[in-house]
Amino acid sequence: MTQKEKILNACKSGGISIPNDSLLNYIRNGIVTFQELQEAGLNEGKINAITQKLIEEESALWSSTLMLNSCEAFRDYLSTSQLNLHTHEALAKIREFDECKWIAVQNPISKESLNTYLNEFPDGNHIVECRSLLEDIPWLETKRKNTIEAYHKYIEQNPGKHNGEAHAAILAIKDDNAWENACVLATTSAFRDYTNQFPNGKHFAEAQARLNSGAAGEQFLIALKNDPNAYMAFDIQQRVGNGVVSWSEIESIFGFEKTNAIRNFQIPSQLPNAIAPDELQPNSTEVYFWGTPGSGKTCALGTIISNAKRRGIIEPLQCEGLHYLNLLSNIFLGNDICTLPDSTQVDNIQEMVMNLFDDKKKPHKLTLVDLAGELFRTVYRNDNNLPVAPVKKAALEKAVSYLKDRRNQKIHFFVVEYGAHDKKWEGLSMSDYLNHMIQFLKREKVFTKSTVGVYVLVTKCDKMECDVNDRPRLAYEYVKQYLPDFWNILDRSRNAAAIKDLKTLAFSIGDVFAQQLCAFDGADTNKVIDKLLTKTPAIKRYTDWLRN
């Protein structure tokens, strides 16, 4: 049963068991619509409460849309709004932009200007007139789109012109789609269905070869043998459910305990959001965790906190991110094989305050700050004058306000994934994002005498084909070789601020498999915990801390 189905089933009895905040997050994240919740039977009290909250968000969304005052902004409003309170005004604004654009493209008229209108207003008021001026441009646009719908629309609108080519293109797309579906299912019946449906298809020979060799399940198992993270746990469950492979074959690769973990795997709940305070608590060392999207930052942070709890040396303190802290502290407790946490929400800053106790049982007051990877995108977009959502800009401003408050000493951990320097997010690599972020932090003069340590935490070092003792050296060499601009700016900033401690730390949380599961190993997390205790002052007397 999908998450949406679970939510709607819960609403049949009024949805009492689901907190309002959770329902709002489901709506915001597009898991379910407000209308679907109402139709499923959500009780009137919750409907009224959610309606009031959505009205507030609707007002903010509309105000932001009016400030942006662009056609794209009004279209985004129409696709984002849950209550559609300003639909008529948004449509009217879009029509105004349509008319202005049409006047502009006619001064003078050219194929380029008409194409611009066609691209920006495919359903515009002047589309018929535009197409009549473009002669054969519709066919070129159709080929560019290369979708079945586009070709059918062209044939319908242009009978007799390019019909043969259009029908051939439709057949080619259907051929590719059928082949893609067969490869996703990777079953004998799926490949046989393809050969029956497309006896002259582009992929017929490969499909026949797979049928002859029985490679559907074999290729899947070979991929897992070569790389235990080739597929997600959910994908493996699906392949077993579809009969592509059996659990006994999976067990022959992973062993009993890991196979049992994959069999019982459930998608983890999304980590909660929290309201970041106006300022962080005083008399504490602030520890910032930076990481690009998908770097494993939240996972690394969770293992550090969990391992501290395992050792019995952590005491959570009251703070805005207390619930988030408690959830992270339980991820790697209990079973040795654990489910990895979900990533931090895009506009999230989590303040987690705690006492960490050293070998002499003296407390060190720390404030761990988990910064969403989305901050890296925000900095990049700001630097390049690209639009940034107000909520993301506000998150960045809040983070900067913490960093510029010099009352507490600070430690920074930059989390980078080993081997992922060329990994792309929206066309940009981890190296690109790190370079822009470190330049931004330099401009904002974040590194000062209040900074007592800066560390580059190189995660997934278990991928290194070397002895464990060689990992620290290879982690340093990796950063120097593949992230040189980031490292050099960081080093110069350290020297300018007279920061004594700048190091790379090799880091692994253990044996990760099926992408979402891990046989935990706390050796590297213990090194980070020891580093935190070494770089921070102990509270001399516990009563002193209580007064603070």
Confidence of residue 545 (pLDDT cuts 50, 70, 90): very low
On whether residue 177 sits in a domain, the answer given is yes
Q: Both 293 and 395 in a single domain?
A: yes
C-alpha to C-alpha distance for 11 and 7, rounded to whole angstroms: 6
Domain end (from 60, 85, 110): 85
Q: Both 319 and 428 in a single domain?
A: yes
Domain end (from 185, 213, 241): 213
* Residue with more model confidence, 141 or 372: 372
Most confident residue range from 78-82, 186-190, 373-377, 473-477:
473-477
Q: Both 29 and 177 in a single domain?
A: no
Q: Both 300 and 208 in a single domain?
A: no
On whether residue 180 sits in a domain, the answer given is yes
Q: What is the mean pLDDT of the chain?
A: 85
User: What is the SS3 assignment for 341?
Assistant: coil
* Residue 463 pLDDT greater than 50, yes or no: yes
Specify the pairing of strand 451-459 against strand 410-417.
Answer: parallel
Closest CA to 272 of 331, 373, 351, 344: 344
Tens of pLDDT, residue by residue over 296-341, are 788 888 889 988 998 899 999 999 889 988 888 887 765 678 888 7
Q: Both 78 and 150 in a single domain?
A: no
Q: What is the pTM of this model?
A: 0.58
Total domains in the fold of the chain: 3
Q: Both 194 and 333 in a single domain?
A: no
Closest CA to 261 of 232, 229, 225, 233: 233
| Lowest-confidence segment of 38-47, 300-309, 491-500 by average pLDDT | 38-47
Q: Both 328 and 427 in a single domain?
A: yes
Tens of pLDDT, residue by residue over 436-449, are 999 999 999 999 98
Q: Both 74 and 158 in a single domain?
A: no
C-alpha to C-alpha distance for 288 and 447, rounded to whole angstroms: 12
- Please give the C-alpha separations between residue 160 and each of 129, 149, 499, in angstroms, as whole numbers: 20, 17, 74
Structure tokens at 103: 């006047």
On whether residue 256 sits in a domain, the answer given is no
Q: Both 154 and 79 in a single domain?
A: no
Between the two ends of the chain, the Cα-to-Cα distance in Å is: 49
Q: What is the mean pLDDT of residues 108-116?
A: 77
Task: Provide the residue range defining the domain that includes 157.
Answer: 144-213
On whether residue 445 sits in a domain, the answer given is yes
On whether residue 412 sits in a domain, the answer given is yes
Confidence of residue 269 (pLDDT cuts 50, 70, 90): confident
Q: Both 337 and 481 in a single domain?
A: yes
- Please state the φ and ψ torsions of residue 412, each to the nearest 5 degrees: -125, 135
* Residue 402 pLDDT greater than 80, yes or no: yes
Most confident residue range from 77-81, 419-423, 482-486:
482-486
359: left (phi over 0), alpha (psi -120 to 50) or beta: alpha
Confidence of residue 108 (pLDDT cuts 50, 70, 90): low
pLDDT at 345: 58
Report whether 340 contacts 356 (CB < 8 A). no
User: What is the SS3 assignment for 545?
Assistant: helix
On whether residue 247 sits in a domain, the answer given is no
Q: Both 360 and 438 in a single domain?
A: yes
Confidence of residue 547 (pLDDT cuts 50, 70, 90): very low
On whether residue 352 sits in a domain, the answer given is yes
Domain end (from 36, 51, 85): 85
Q: Both 167 and 50 in a single domain?
A: no
pLDDT at 215: 56
Report whether 85 contacts 58 (CB < 8 A). yes
- The enclosing domain of 395 has a CATH number of 3.40.50.300
On whether residue 477 sits in a domain, the answer given is yes
- 343 DSSP 8-state letter: P
Q: Which residues pair with 424 in a beta bridge?
A: 429
